Every structure is written in structure tokens, then in C-alpha cells.
Chains A and B, each alone.
Chain A
């Protein structure tokens, strides 16, 4: 199993450009999520999905779109990049909640994005 994969590893954008961060998992996990991590800080939830065709907003969704057309893939789109979106982006996946509680999350290696 490859686990959770993210591409690209690094990206530099100019303000106003758009791009898609890719995330894929091969563990048949229903739950997938995107976080951003700013220097010296924790992770903030951007968007999450509990299954194909279902997405929802997290703590900091503005400026980002997601879709979930398959169980395996959960791309994150930056519509019009801004310097404030410079960050490290992590994708995570897990099985759906068990007895109402979240399961162990599996994280990808991250994408380091710089917006100039």
C-alpha cells in the first residue's frame, strides 16, 4: 500500500494564480481531510469529506474548493492564490467514525506552497 500520497511536494505560485493540490489514498478510507500548517503552529482544518460526493467546510475554508468524485481522490483547489495561503498542506484519511469517534488518521507527506 502506498498509503496517502500528495503531489506536488513543492510549489511556488504568483498571486492570483490557481492550482490543484492532489491527494490520493489506497486504503479504502471514507473520511478524507485537508489541513494547513503555518510555521510553528498546529494544523487547521480546511475541508473534509465523509465519502464520495460529500464534502464540508472546516475551520478555514475561504479561498479553497474541494470535490470528492471517488473514494480514493480528494483534490484541493486554490482559486486565486494569495500570500496568506503560503503554508504546508497536509491531506489525511481514515475510516469513518466508529461509535461516534474518529479513528486513527493517516497523513500524507505534505505539499509546501509559497505564494509570491
Chain B
């Protein structure tokens, strides 16, 4: 089964609003990564947060990590129509192995 699971599966908002999506995982991790996928394209790396970090910012993106709850959230502020995409979290298995697994993704639609 997948290590990470995103919630919600789909999200529709108006341009200018904030979008929040969550990722829960099962085992201990070394870091957690967020990726974006535009329709019909490959995934693009957005941000990486290490297990000893609690919050990280990159432009309009804010990622938090709560290792006690085994969860992370991605916040996109002041969303734009161009943010319409699917967003995935990716986690490793801590020290157990070399696999990097992805969740099912959140499909975000930003209406102009």
C-alpha cells in the first residue's frame, strides 16, 4: 500500500483564495516532498521538508510537518488559475530502504 495519502482528493476554489491539502503517512520518514503535476505532464518538485523541520516556505507555498501525527500540509496562498494541477506528497521509508513512494494526489482546480 502507498506510504502517503493526500486529502482531499479534489479541491475547487476561486482565484485569490488559499488552498490547503494534507498528506498522511504510516512509517517514520527522513523527509517529505511535494510535487505538482500539470495535466498530461511529468511531476515537478515543489518543496522538500526534512523530518527535523516543522515549517518551510517557498514563494506562495508553505509546508508544515508534524511527525507526531505523521502528517504534512501544503498551503498555496493567493491561488492563481495557473496553480490548477494535481499535487502529490512523496515519502521514503526512513532507514528501511531506498523506495520513494507517492500518495494518490489532490486535484486542485482554481477558477478564474
Contacts and interface: CB of A to CB of B under 8 A. Distances in A.
Interface of A: 4, 31, 33, 35, 40-45, 48, 50, 56, 58-59, 90, 92, 97, 99-110
B67 interface: no
* Residue among B101, B103, B104 with the highest chain A CB neighbour number at 10 A: B101
Nearest to B43: A107
Contacts of A104: 33, 45, 48
Contacts of B107: 40
Interface of B: 2, 6, 30-31, 33, 35, 40-45, 48, 50-51, 88, 90, 92, 94-95, 98-105, 107
Contact of A42 (B45, B50, B102): B102
A90 B100 CA distance: 14
Contacts, number: 74
Contact of A102 (B6, B33, B40, B103): B33
Nearest to B9: A40
A101 B42 contact: no
Nearest to B100: A102
Contacts of B30: 97, 99-102
B45 A58 contact: no
Given A105-B33, A105-B43, A100 B95 contact: yes
